Amino acid sequence: MSLFPGVALVTGAASGIGRATAVAFAAEGCTKIAICDRAADGLAETKRLIEGKQGDDGRKVEVEVVAGDVSREESVTNMVQTIVKRWGRIDYAVNCAGIQGPPKRSTEFELEEFDAINRVNYRGLWMCSRAELKQMMKQEPLQTHDGRPGNRGVIVHIASQLGIVSRTNAAAYCASKAAVISLTKSDAIDYSNDRIQVNCVCPGLVQTPMVQGPEQQKLFAPAVAIAPMDRMGEPEEIADACLFLCSSKATFVQGAALVVDGGYTIN
């Protein structure tokens, strides 16, 4: 039996960590995968990559593409309704959509720049989580790979190492990610009795378009050097952590902020 017999949803799936997570679900045997993002072209490429993973063992992977903006309530409602209409449930929800904002200190930040970050990273993620929780509460638990009674669903938020420690010129971003960690713990408490798991992953610096411009590489070089492993992570290494938390190998993990950062936050 696959570790992922249920339905997966990944937001921010048009690029970077979200794309790698959606593709990893397919590679690890999940056959019902919804990919959501506001970037339609990127979603089409992710769908192509997922479809490239099927066939190795005769499996057919079904992909639902939902273009939408996680900061808009109607998009979030549409996302969940579309998936439930097609497959009847959502078992693994990875909320990955996020933005970084300009590198400035708080006194140089405009209110609109602050709001833009929080509309996506915190408020948007909360709206996705709320809609996913509402759906998960209505569904029966999925059995685990070894026959134990499983849980009703798993939510994994993508926070950041910068929700735990801070860096210069990123106050609004760091605070938005700290909020995600706090939300994770609070919802983990509130939905444990419903047998829903809520965890988050805190990636270190990861090779994605978010950090790959020449400006960003200059900005982030000192941060890479702080991490004992002295390199950036690959999106697939974050996807692995997300899949572990979604899998039936992690049924007792609750409210965790799993740091995957090459050791950046050790010191």
Taking residues 22 to 61 in sequence order and writing x for each that binds ligand NAD by CB under 6 A, - otherwise, the string is ---------------xxx--x-------------------
Taking the C-alpha atoms of residue 64 and residue 197, their distance in angstroms, rounded to an integer, is 23
Of 6, 9, 18, 254, the one binding ligand NAD (CB under 6 A) is 18
Taking the C-alpha atoms of residue 241 and residue 213, their distance in angstroms, rounded to an integer, is 25
> Which residue out of 177, 191, 218, 249 is catalytically annotated?
177
Do 264 and 19 form a contact (C-beta atoms < 8 A)? no
Least Å distance between CB 192 and ligand NAD?
A: 25
Taking residues 209 to 228 in sequence order and writing x for each that binds ligand NAD by CB under 6 A, - otherwise, the string is xxx-----------------
Query: Distances from the Cα of 127 to the Cαs of 30, 62, 79, 143, in angstroms?
Result: 25, 25, 11, 27
Question: Catalytic: 264?
Answer: no
> Does 17 participate in binding ligand NAD (rule CB under 6 A)?
yes
- Looking at the Cβ atoms of 6 and 98, the one nearer to ligand NAD is 98
Taking the C-alpha atoms of residue 4 and residue 94, their distance in angstroms, rounded to an integer, is 14
Of 50, 94, 96, 188, the one binding ligand NAD (CB under 6 A) is 96
Put the strands of the sheet holding 153-158 in their side by side order: 62-67, 32-37, 7-11, 92-95, 153-158, 196-203, 257-260
Do 223 and 166 form a contact (C-beta atoms < 8 A)? no
Least Å distance between CB 177 and ligand NAD?
A: 7
> Does 205 participate in binding ligand NAD (rule CB under 6 A)?
yes
- Enclosing H/E stretch for 257: strand 257-260
Question: Catalytic: 92?
Answer: no
> Does 97 participate in binding ligand NAD (rule CB under 6 A)?
yes
Q: CB-based contacts of 67: which residues, under 8 Å, 6+ apart?
A: 36, 37, 38, 39, 40, 43
Catalytic residue annotation: 173, 177
- List of residues contacting ligand NAD (CB under 6 A): 12, 14-18, 37-39, 42, 69-71, 96-99, 120, 124, 158, 160, 203, 205-206, 208-211
